[in-house]
């Protein structure tokens, strides 16, 4: 076998830090170069007989979205290669994609995929799943966040870990994963959706990022990924601060589920914390994460709007400022959706 590419050693090190040394770790695999490279790095640990991760159990899950006419064949080819690497167990799980979702086909497929991952974890008794997002994916995600104007958390891009999901390859490139696959004589599947201009992410990948590299900087992908790391640290700090402020300002909820926040100290918080506290309160009473527009409208109730509300948030949640002369005066009140 030819000399291993430097990226393989980096991948093995990063994967080793993400594996559960005592439980079953699954590799989420589509059959593409990124996830096969991740599987190859994980298999190296799976087969070791010494060291701190000796005996670490690594399997794989292939999610079949049934969106490609040859999806059964594609999934089967991925399974054969994963078993050839020595991973065990290796299973295919179907994903039920809502093609009529208002969020669009990409978001619907993602929702279905993560649902299948959780089912796989439960059925196979796994404790975590490794996903094969790379630095290229991170750069694309940051550009998507910029396009949507979604704030610090969106610019933070793809998290390295969230719950049981770990992404150890975020410091590697797509070119690195292709080199790892070539070294192991793996045959990755090329998903045509990755270059389909109907999808925004595909246009970013095939048109916008290459244009920015040519016209702005050849290191734009690294710069965007670095932006994600910085924004992630900032967002985590602000979110933790907001959680502490939320706990301090929240009055004990009554049996109706209505939440009341002390208005004056909330008004004195900086906007970055104030908005996050509002979002936490909205989610606590049953709303999805509020949009920027709805959050801005609710924030005006805190900062001195003549109107006391109510302001409607997503999920049928309403917010108003307690009226003078009532027990709710000096409080911001969030009312859950009717049952």
Q: CB neighbours of 140 closer than 8 A, spacing ≥ 6?
A: 201, 204, 205, 209
CA distances in angstroms from 247 to 251, 262, 273, listed in the order given: 8, 11, 13
pLDDT score for 232: 93
* Cβ burial 165-199 (10 Å sphere, 16+ → b, else e): bbbbbbbbbbebbbbbbebbebebbeeebeeeeee
305 marked ligand binding residue: no
What span, in angstroms and rounded, lies between the C-alpha atoms of 177 and 35?
8
State the pLDDT confidence band at 245, using cuts at 50, 70 and 90.
Answer: very high
End-to-end CA distance of the chain: 64
Of 233 and 94, which is predicted with more confidence? 233
Q: How far is CA 11 from CA 132, 140, 171, in A?
A: 10, 21, 9
Average pLDDT over residues 75-93: 94
Read off the pLDDT of residues 217-236 as tens digits, 9 standing for 90 and up.
889 999 999 999 999 999 99
pLDDT of residue 98: 76
Per-residue confidence (pLDDT) for residue 257, from 0 to 100: 84
260 pLDDT band (50/70/90 cuts)?
very high
150 is in an annotated binding site: no
What pLDDT does 50 receive?
Answer: 62
Higher pLDDT, 91 or 102: 91
Instruction: Read off the tokens for 74.
Output: 């594609």
Closest listed residue to residue 45, CA positions, set 78, 20, 12: 12
pLDDT in the model for residue 95: 83
Which whole number is the average pLDDT over 308-319?
88
Q: What are phi and psi of 99, to 5 degrees?
A: -70, -10
Using the predicted structure, report yes or no on whether residue 17 has a pLDDT greater than 90: yes
In this prediction, residue 165 carries a pLDDT of 97
Q: How confident is the model at residue 304 (pLDDT cuts 50, 70, 90)?
A: confident
**Beta carbons of 119 and 180 less than 8 angstroms apart:** no
Task: Confirm whether residue 35 is marked as ligand binding.
Answer: yes
Beta strands 161-162 and 165-166: pairing type? antiparallel
- pLDDT over 70 (residue 3): no
Tell me the per-residue pLDDT of 99-114, one tens digit each, with 9 for 90 and over: 677 767 777 888 889 9
Q: Is 32 annotated in some ligand binding site?
A: yes
Give the span between the Cα atoms of 74 and 192, in whole angstroms: 12
Residue 326 preceded by cis peptide, ω within 30: no
Helices (H), 149-270: 152-155, 174-183, 200-203, 209-215, 220-249, 263-268
Of 149 and 181, more confident: 181
The reply to whether 75 sits in an annotated binding site is no
Give the Cα separation of 137 and 34 in Å (integer). 10
Q: How many CB atoms lie within 10 A of CB 137?
A: 23
The reported pLDDT for the residue numbered 52 is: 67
| Widest distance between CA atoms in the chain | 81
3-state secondary structure of 134: coil
Strand order in the sheet with 259-262: 259-262, 331-335, 317-321, 311-313
Q: Residue 124: is it exposed, middle or buried by C-beta count within 10 angstroms (0-12/13-18/19+)?
A: middle
The model's pLDDT over 271-290, given as tens digits with 9 standing for 90+, comes to 999 999 999 999 999 888 88
* pLDDT averaged over every residue in the chain: 89
Other beta carbons within 10 Å of 8: 21
Mean pLDDT calculated for residue range 60-89:
89
> Omega into 310 within 30° of 0, i.e. cis?
yes
Q: Is 31 annotated as a binding residue?
A: yes
pLDDT of residue 51: 64
Are the C-beta atoms of 92 and 60 separated by less than 8 Å?
A: no
The strand ranges marked E within 74-215 are 90-94, 126-130, 161-162, 165-166
What structural domains does the chain harbor?
A: 6-228 (3.40.50.620), 250-335 (3.30.465.60)
Question: Quick check: 2 pLDDT over 60?
Answer: no
Which pLDDT does position 4 carry in this prediction?
67
Distance, CA of 238 to CA of 106 (rounded, Å): 29
Phi, psi of 19 (to 5 degrees): -70, 150
């Amino acid at each position: 076998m030819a000399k291993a590419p430097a990226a393989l050693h980096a991948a093995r090190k990063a994967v080793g830090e993400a594996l559960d040394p005592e439980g079953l770790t699954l590799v989420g695999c589509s059959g593409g170069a990124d996830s096969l490279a991740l599987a190859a790095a994980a298999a190296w640990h799976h087969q070791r007989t010494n060291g701190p991760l000796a005996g670490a159990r690594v399997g794989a899950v292939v999610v079949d979205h049934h969106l490609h006419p040859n999806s059964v064949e594609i999934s089967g080819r991925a399974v054969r290669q994963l078993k050839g690497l020595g991973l065990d167990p290796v299973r295919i799980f179907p994903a039920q994609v809502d093609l009529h979702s208002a969020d669009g086909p990409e978001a619907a497929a993602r929702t279905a995929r993560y649902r299948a991952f959780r089912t796989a974890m439960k059925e196979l008794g796994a404790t975590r799943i490794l996903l094969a997002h790379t630095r290229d994916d991170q750069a694309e995600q940051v550009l998507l966040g910029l396009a949507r104007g979604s704030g610090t958390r969106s610019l933070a891009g793809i998290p390295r870990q969230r719950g049981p999901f770990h992404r150890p390859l975020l410091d590697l490139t797509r070119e690195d994963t292709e080199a790892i696959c070539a070294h192991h004589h793996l045959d990755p599947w090329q998903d045509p959706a990755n270059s389909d201009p109907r999808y925004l992410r595909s246009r970013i990948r095939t048109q916008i990022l290459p244009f920015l590299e040519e016209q702005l900087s050849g290191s734009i992908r690294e710069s965007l990924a670095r932006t994600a790391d910085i924004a992630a640290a900032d967002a985590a700090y602000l979110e933790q601060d907001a959680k502490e402020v939320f706990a301090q300002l929240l009055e004990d909820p009554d049996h109706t589920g209505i939440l009341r926040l002390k208005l004056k100290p909330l008004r004195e918080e900086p906007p970055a914390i104030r908005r996050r506290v509002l979002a936490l309160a909205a989610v606590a009473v049953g709303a999805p994460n509020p949009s920027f527009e709805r959050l801005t409208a609710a924030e005006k109730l805190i900062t001195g709007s003549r109107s006391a509300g109510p302001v409607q948030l997503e999920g049928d949640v309403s917010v108003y400022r307690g009226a003078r002369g009532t027990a709710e005066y000096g409080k911001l009140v969030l009312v859950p959706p009717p049952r």
